[in-house]
Structure 1
């Protein structure tokens, strides 16, 4: 359709799109003190302006919208979220971790190495679910989603990748250098400034969550999920808690219930697991899926 024909097309928009306006701005013929001053920049292209404290609500909205829109475009219907430590080694790395540890840190290294089996189980679960390639209403279901980092997160993305499937990584900007693991699907690799928005995106499409041994970050994500379901802000879903020995040593769930600060029924919000097979069996039972 020619430009002239478009002028008479009822479906043609009257206003130019933002990218077209940006091109017009770039093509401006004159360079003057006025046009070169930051005040003259289009607001949505002015990075310095977008980073001002007063624009925090706008940045919140952008960080909510960008992943949501791109995941919609990617046909992601639901996700299997995997939380867990960034420090647990793979089984291939466990022995080296202990050997290279100083005498003072040898005990900690052995504790981490003993949890290497959960790297394997995270890998197996991600691969197992990805190989099933469940499609419903034209959308991909149980797409593996991790924090995009190393260790348990890497295991999840690697399991999906080895199954020939795409997976999501929700990375966070930190003061120290870090980057997504190499198994995250590039166009599904997102970077967040706000932890709150990152945690929201973990759960917006989640249909099941596998929680492996971890530290403060894993605790934060796990307990927020429990709180959302306990309080009725979120519908129940399978929460697979891997590593009963670890979790019951660091958190006395029964004591919380005995003290009355939670009810004993709240302990049914999650299911203990040790293997990927156990985890998938519970997910399949919950959603009445063939295994």
Structure 2
């Protein structure tokens, strides 16, 4: 029987074109295994798949690392170590000296002075994280740092850096949950295989909460406030089990949020004010956390 290629009913086939077509087949996006098709995975259609992966990947890695409890450290990304804050102030003062009538530069100097004042919280966060991270070693020298609650931060600069740095000072592990936004690379003190990058803020917050046995919130901006109210809401409605929630810096927080006014207005219950506590020193905050162990 003659082959189809020699059948007079079909045109003579060009082997070169056939080879080209096969090459196009095996190199087409549709022929790729799904996990190798990055254009598909990164498309809006696959958003649900990416969200599931962002739930699963950190969960798997933290389970492999044997981490069962964490203490959340949150606060402003703009709060620097004092030496850095003073350098920033000096730079703004030099700029103002060159243009003393600039209202914008005057405002920058004022803000830089305030950030120098707030730099004390960097040291407090670092000390607090050191105390928490050292806890397992203090209980039993035979235990490694993984036996104690592990510090988890947003993985960026400022208070987040201070939290990871305190654990680093103690020779212990810490977690960084970074978000994929401009100008916020991971700080250099996170345990390398415990640093995760997220697309979705909601899933990042999910991983903050799920293993937490305590949270401490230092002065910060919109992101810190968002995270604070997320934690308080989950505690208020009973989704998250009881744990200490500490607002560090009573003067700052009492000016930012008037919880008493909220309660007096009937918008929260009087008992809701017991969901959190204030602290003004690292050892005071650590004692509040340690009470539950």
Q: TM-score, normalised by structure 2?
A: 0.84
Query: 1:151 — aligned with what?
Result: 158
Query: 1:10 — aligned with what?
Result: none
In the alignment, does 2:178 pair up with 1:171? yes
1:265, CA displacement in angstroms?
A: 1.3
Q: CA RMSD in A?
A: 1.9
Query: 1:231 — aligned with what?
Result: 237
8 Å CA contact 2:245–2:276 kept in 1: the answer is yes
User: In 2, distance between residues paired with 1:223 and 1:131?
Assistant: 29
In the alignment, does 2:130 pair up with 1:127? yes
1:99, CA displacement in angstroms?
A: 2.2
1:27-62: per-residue Cα shift (whole Å, max 9, x none)?
xxx962211111100012111111222211111100
1:223-279: per-residue Cα shift (whole Å, max 9, x none)?
010000001111110111101111111211111111100012111111101111001
1:92, CA displacement in angstroms?
A: 2.1
Larger radius of gyration: 2
Query: 2:204 — aligned with what?
Result: 198
Query: 2:31 — aligned with what?
Result: 40
1:286, CA displacement in angstroms?
A: 2.5
User: In 2, distance between residues paired with 1:272 and 1:104?
Assistant: 30
SS at match of 1:207: strand
Query: 2:46 — aligned with what?
Result: 55
User: In 1, distance between residues paired with 2:157 and 2:35?
Assistant: 34
Please point out which of 90, 112, 129 is paired with 1:109.
112
8 Å CA contact 2:157–2:184 kept in 1: the answer is no
Query: 1:5 — aligned with what?
Result: none
Q: Which runs of 4+ in 1 moved over 4 A?
A: 134-139
User: In 2, distance between residues paired with 1:59 and 1:82?
Assistant: 26
SS at match of 1:32: helix
1:88-144: per-residue Cα shift (whole Å, max 9, x none)?
121222322322223222221122211111111100011111112268999633101
User: In 1, distance between residues paired with 2:30 and 2:232?
Assistant: 47
User: In 2, distance between residues paired with 1:207 and 1:31?
Assistant: 57
Equivalenced residues, count: 257
SS at match of 1:86: coil
User: In 2, distance between residues paired with 1:150 and 1:171?
Assistant: 10
User: In 1, distance between residues paired with 2:158 and 2:183?
Assistant: 16
User: In 1, distance between residues paired with 2:90 and 2:258?
Assistant: 32
> Which of 193-202 and 48-57 deviates more?
48-57
Please point out which of 64, 80, 88 is paired with 2:79.
88
SS at match of 2:177: strand
User: In 1, distance between residues paired with 2:256 and 2:134?
Assistant: 34
SS at match of 2:197: strand
Query: 1:283 — aligned with what?
Result: 289
Q: Which runs of 5 or more residues in structure 2 are unaligned?
A: 1-20, 93-104
Please point out which of 162, 172, 175 is paired with 2:169.
162
User: In 1, distance between residues paired with 2:292 and 2:184?
Assistant: 36
In the alignment, does 2:204 pair up with 1:213? no
